[in-house]
């Protein structure tokens, strides 16, 4: 059988997603597991290996029909060495040579990168930023990630650690962050933080979907809470807009599901806080690929074997 399939893995703080895609990056099958159900790194790696083998075998494929495996991870990655430096929201992951481990166990080519980089790659190739020369792609979920497309290419930085948008400090003092810093954007607008704030406001557990629904029905408390999130995000983005002068900012992830109430406040804040020339040029849009952006990006990574 000719090689024509890709395996994509998107490891997040909440879910582990595994998908089988064809060579045209169309999803043919998928599996979803809860990341938190695996207490140790070794258990999570074994679950990845088992899931990859299952999805290949379950579709009656041989490994010879698979081009490769792409993996997106929520933290700094050395793409040349295949090394996971650490994962801020998943304990126990430090200096893990994941590419070598997976390759030795699965016997297929493996490529790894930061998950937000892969979401940016996917949105630029297939989604909302398609055709843009300079794009900033933000993912708002358990963590807050970012990917940079500069001059049409994914920009990773000198040692592959660029784009950590969620770890930009937005106050002089503030809560400690899992990354080791303080007052990082992520500690204010990560989804778990928003859910805790909503629970305090409403006196019961509130999902992000409920909070968004309330806001869209003009519930004053929900609108105020999403407005606070939008303002903080807009302040951080204003600095990025001034620094990089992008054509477009693409915002995705679960938090982006808030829709208009969030995006209006982000746009308003950028307009009021960024310099006129830059803010007048940039557009802010919702990601098109939804929660599958990381999977599409991982598939593109595997298909093209992108390192630089």
Residue 125 covered by a domain: no
Q: Decide if 203 is inside a domain.
A: yes
The strand pair at 94-96 and 83-86 is best described as: antiparallel
Do 222 and 244 lie in one domain? The reply is yes
So what's the pLDDT on residue 60?
Answer: 95
Give the separation between CA 285 and CA 265, rounded to whole angstroms: 13
- 124 in a domain, yes or no? no
Q: Is 243 in the same domain as 142?
A: yes
Same domain, 135 and 283: yes
Can you give the pLDDT at residue 36?
Answer: 84
Query: Are the beta carbons of 12 and 141 closer than 8 angstroms?
Result: yes
pLDDT at res. 307: 60
**180 plus 262 within the same structural domain:** yes
- Domain membership of residue 17 (yes or no) is yes
150/273 same-domain check = yes
Shared domain check, 300 and 205: no
Residue 40: CB atoms within 10 Å = 10
Judge if 182 and 50 occupy the same domain: no
The whole-model pTM stands at 0.89
Virtual torsion, Cα 262, 246, 170, 203, nearest 10 deg: 10
Question: Do the domain assignments include residue 40?
Answer: yes
Domain span at residue 143? Answer: 130-287
Q: Looking at the structure, do residues 92 and 137 belong to the same domain, yes or no?
A: no
86 conformational bin, left if phi > 0, alpha if psi -120 to 50, beta if neither: beta
Residue by residue, pLDDT tens for the chain (308 residues) are 446 999 999 998 889 999 999 999 999 999 999 998 898 999 999 999 999 999 999 999 999 999 999 999 988 999 999 999 999 888 899 999 999 999 999 999 999 999 999 999 999 999 999 999 999 999 998 789 899 999 999 999 999 989 989 999 999 999 999 888 999 999 999 898 999 999 999 999 999 999 999 999 999 999 999 999 999 999 999 999 999 999 999 999 889 989 999 999 999 999 999 999 999 999 999 999 998 999 999 999 999 886 64
Query: What is the domain count for the chain?
Result: 2
Flag whether 274 is in a domain.
Answer: yes
Inside any domain, residue 146: yes
Does 166 map to a domain? yes
CB count, 10 Å around CB of 218? 9
* pLDDT at residue number 14: 82
Q: Are residues 114 and 157 in the same domain?
A: no
Same domain, 107 and 144: no
Same domain (yes/no): 68, 204: no
Question: Do 11 and 62 belong together in one domain?
Answer: yes
Provide the CATH number for the domain around residue 113: 3.30.420.40
pLDDT of residue 1: 41
């Amino acid at each position: 059988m000719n090689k024509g399939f890709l395996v994509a893995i998107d490891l997040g703080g909440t879910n582990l997603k595994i998908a089988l895609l064809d060579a045209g990056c169309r999803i043919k099958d998928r599996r979803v597991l809860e990341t938190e159900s695996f207490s140790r790194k070794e258990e999570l790696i074994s679950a990845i290996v088992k899931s990859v083998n299952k999805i290949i075998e379950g579709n009656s494929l041989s490994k010879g029909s698979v081009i490769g495996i792409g993996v997106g991870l929520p933290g700094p990655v050395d793409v040349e060495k295949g090394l996971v430096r650490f994962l801020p929201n998943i304990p126990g992951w430090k200096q893990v040579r994941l590419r070598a481990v997976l390759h030795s166990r699965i016997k297929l080519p493996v490529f790894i990168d930061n998950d937000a980089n892969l979401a940016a790659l996917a949105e630029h190739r297939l989604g909302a930023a398609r055709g843009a020369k300079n794009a900033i792609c933000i993912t708002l979920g358990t963590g807050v990630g970012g990917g940079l497309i500069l001059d049409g290419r994914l920009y990773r930085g000198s040692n592959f650690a660029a784009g950590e948008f969620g770890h930009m400090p937005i106050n002089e003092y503030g809560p400690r962050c899992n990354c080791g810093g303080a007052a990082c954007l992520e500690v204010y607008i990560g989804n778990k933080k928003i859910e805790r704030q909503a629970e305090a406001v409403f006196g019961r557990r509130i999902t992000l979907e409920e909070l968004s629904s309330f806001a869209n029905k003009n519930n004053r408390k929900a609108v105020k809470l999403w407005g606070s999130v939008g303002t903080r995000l807009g302040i951080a983005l204003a600095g990025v807009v001034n620094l990089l002068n992008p054509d477009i900012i693409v915002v995705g992830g679960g938090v982006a599901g808030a829709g208009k109430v969030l995006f209006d406040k982000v746009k308003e804040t950028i307009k009021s806080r960024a310099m006129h020339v830059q803010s007048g040029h940039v557009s802010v849009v919702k990601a098109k690929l939804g929660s599958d952006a990381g999977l599409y990006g991982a598939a593109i990574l595997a298909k093209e074997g992108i390192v630089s």
